[in-house]
Amino acid sequence: MDTSKVYLNLKASRTPGPQRASPPCLPPDACQCPRSHRWALKLSCAGLILLLLTLIGMSVLVRVLIQKPSIEKCSVCIQENITKKADSPAKLSCSRDWLLHRDKCIHFSQDSHIWKRGLADCATKGATFLLIRDQEELSFIKDSANAKGTTFWLGLYYTLRDKKWKWVNGSTLSSHGLQITGEAKKDSCAAVSKNKVFSDACASHNMWICQKEPKLVSETVCNDS
């Protein structure tokens, strides 16, 4: 056997065949932008953010400037209303067909009936018979009755047991109050006609006068228009 030939074949089998070449390694920053470009990009982003913040701030400022006159106007309006309320009494109002006199709403009935019927009618209206408290109010009622040319029941009746005139709220007529003409007897009630207050039978038919408290007029504090 030829030994030299075997040696050559073994050597040849150990010799590596042709292999595919590996691509050369690239440097780490070969695919990155230049540093100057990166700085420019960062500055552009910062500029856009600053511009956005500036626009937001300007929009807020414009809204504040637009609303400021309205706020100042409303503040002045509120202060004026507070001053008016402090300097003047509250405004009072009465329902339709009721007359405001001082701090009372007064109603002159259109119907004529006995005293108890008038008392009940005032109650259904959320009111009571008229209670005259001073000479000024008495003069006003007399003038009104005289102008209407009729007789009106008042909230005053005579009690035979006490022999005194009493108002419907339970108080006794003061000796310094209004003067009642005519005889006071059982079932006597007071009525006003023209220039006098007189005693009349409670079963007589007269018109009547009711009274109730007025309402406070609501006021608008501020108007934005």
Please write down the HEC assignment for all residues of 178-216: CCEECCCCCCEEEEEECCEEEEEECCCCEEEEEEECCEE
165-210 residue pLDDT tens? 999 999 999 877 788 999 998 899 999 998 899 999 999 999 999 9
Domain of residue 96 covers 92-215
Q: Is residue 75 part of a domain?
A: no
Q: Is residue 74 part of a domain?
A: no
Given a cut of 50, is residue 10 above it in pLDDT?
no
Q: What pLDDT sits at residue 22?
A: 53
Average pLDDT rounded to a whole number, residues 99-128: 95
Given a cut of 80, is residue 211 above it in pLDDT?
yes
Cα–Cα distance, 163 to 165 (Å, whole number): 7
Q: List the CATH number of the domain containing 125.
A: 3.10.100.10
Q: Is residue 134 part of a domain?
A: yes
Q: Is residue 144 part of a domain?
A: yes
Measuring CA to CA, which residue among 158, 142, 225, 221 is closest to residue 190?
158
In the beta sheet, which residues pair with residue 104? 101
Cα–Cα distance, 219 to 93 (Å, whole number): 12
Instruction: Name the domain count of the chain.
Output: 1
Q: Is residue 103 part of a domain?
A: yes
**What is the four-CA torsion angle of 115, 119, 124, 130, rounded to 10 degrees?**
120
Residue 199's alpha-carbon distances to 3, 99, 113, 171, 196, in angstroms, are 169, 26, 16, 18, 10
Q: What pLDDT sits at residue 4?
A: 47
Per the CB < 8 A criterion, the answer to whether 188 and 173 are in contact is no
Per the CB < 8 A criterion, the answer to whether 153 and 207 are in contact is yes
69-84 residue pLDDT tens? 665 665 666 666 655 5
Cα–Cα distance, 91 to 190 (Å, whole number): 32
Cα–Cα distance, 200 to 182 (Å, whole number): 8
pLDDT bucket at 12, cuts 50 / 70 / 90:
very low
Average pLDDT rounded to a whole number, residues 17-34: 54
Structure tokens, 198: 């007189």
Average pLDDT rounded to a whole number, residues 150-164: 93
42-51 residue pLDDT tens? 788 888 888 8
How confident is the prediction for the chain on average, in pLDDT? Answer: 80
Cα–Cα distance, 128 to 155 (Å, whole number): 8
Per the CB < 8 A criterion, the answer to whether 179 and 80 are in contact is no
Q: Is residue 193 part of a domain?
A: yes
Q: Is residue 167 part of a domain?
A: yes
